[in-house]
Amino acid sequence: MDDTPTRPTETFTPPDTRPGWGLFWMLMTGICFVAVTATVKMVGDDVPAVQAGFLRYVLALGFLIPMWPAVRRTVLTRPLVGLIAARGIAHALAVSLWFFAMTRIPIADVTALNYLNPIYVILLAVLFLGERLGPWRIAAIVVAFAGTLIIIRPGFREIDIGHLVMLLTAVAMAVSYFFAKLLSQRVPAQVVVFYLSIVVPIALLPAALSLWVPVGWIDLGWLFLCAIFATAGHYTMTLAFRMAPLTVTQPVTFLQLIWATLLGVLVFEEPLDAYVILGGGLIIAAVSFITWREAVLARRNR
């Protein structure tokens, strides 16, 4: 699309930093995504992962109608379209891999390995935004990957393909979050969520059609609930990104491990794996240290 606006538009100005609201919205994001995990687990492997991901987004299209006024006021430039497309493709891949992993490994394993997202986001910032990778960051990254090895325990148990898929999921999701952070500084939250919800099902459609199976009403109901919680989660996540830096919002997401573990044990009768808790704790500690140190350095610079 041409870079020149074709209609009058309102200039989007990101709101002032409000850490309290940023923490609140990220807390709500965590609750929504744990609910998403529960609904996907209920569907299980009755529906192929790509088809389930596609249906999750199609069932959520009705929730986009209230977002249309903000979308209509936003002029799309080539760079903006590029960011939207890149995020949508990365997220489509992440959703497919994540739906598959949920059918193979416990919820706690999925959640713990998903905490590698911030590590990958940091590496992306180093590669593409010119951020510095100092010794403390390197040490924290090493600790985080040590936690990953404790969770998977190669050589000490049979590694399920779900664990390997989750490692790829974390990479794809980190790319999506990286682009979401860039987009949240350029357009309103409604616009970010709207275009994500349009691009992802388009990207998933060819693979979904090739694997299509009949879907029962019960599974459709769970996927509809998944759509509700996921759409709300992406919206609150974008609000959190706008109102507070990642160093403030990221640690709140770690509460998801507690909720997800309890959900797996109490609802799905999954075993409580001490190694998963230990490995997840190391990843949490590493990312928490990075966020704390960067917040201290930011205050010093100011």
Q: How far is CA 10 from the centre of its chain?
A: 29
Counted residue by residue, the chain has a size of: 302
pLDDT at 91: 93
Please check the confidence at residue 26 and state whether its pLDDT lies above 60: yes
pTM: 0.76
At 7, list the tokens.
């209609």
Higher pLDDT, residue 218 or 33: 218
Contact 257, 112 (CB under 8 A): yes
Q: Tell me the mean pLDDT in the region 27-35.
A: 85
Q: Where are the alpha helices (DSSP H) in the chain?
A: 19-43, 49-58, 68-73, 78-102, 107-114, 117-128, 135-152, 161-184, 189-210, 217-243, 246-249, 255-266, 274-301
Q: Tell me the mean pLDDT in the region 13-21.
A: 63
For CA atoms 101, 107, 108, 114, give the dihedral sign. positive
pLDDT confidence band for 10 (50 / 70 / 90):
very low
Please check the confidence at residue 239 and state whether its pLDDT lies above 90: no
User: Residue 237, SS3?
Assistant: helix
pLDDT at 129: 72
pLDDT confidence band for 77 (50 / 70 / 90):
confident
Closest CA to 174 of 108, 219, 139, 122: 122
Is residue 130 exposed (0-12), middle (13-18) or buried (19+ Cβ within 10 Å)?
Answer: exposed
| Residue for token pair 């507690």 | 258
Give percent of the chain with pLDDT exceeding 90.
17
Please check the confidence at residue 156 and state whether its pLDDT lies above 80: no
Contact 209, 44 (CB under 8 A): no
pLDDT at 302: 66
Closest CA to 242 of 24, 69, 58: 24
pLDDT at 225: 92
Q: Tens of pLDDT along 106-147?
A: 888 888 888 788 788 878 877 777 777 778 878 888 888 888
Please check the confidence at residue 4 and state whether its pLDDT lies above 50: no
At 140, list the tokens.
């924290």
pLDDT at 9: 43
pLDDT confidence band for 3 (50 / 70 / 90):
very low
Q: Tens of pLDDT along 158-199?
A: 778 888 898 899 889 889 988 888 888 888 878 888 999 899
Q: Tell me the mean pLDDT in the region 238-244.
A: 76
Please list, in sequence order, all residues whose beta carbon lies within 8 angstroms of the beta carbon of residue 51, skipping any fewer than 6 positions away: 208, 211, 212, 213, 215
Closest CA to 150 of 180, 112, 114: 112
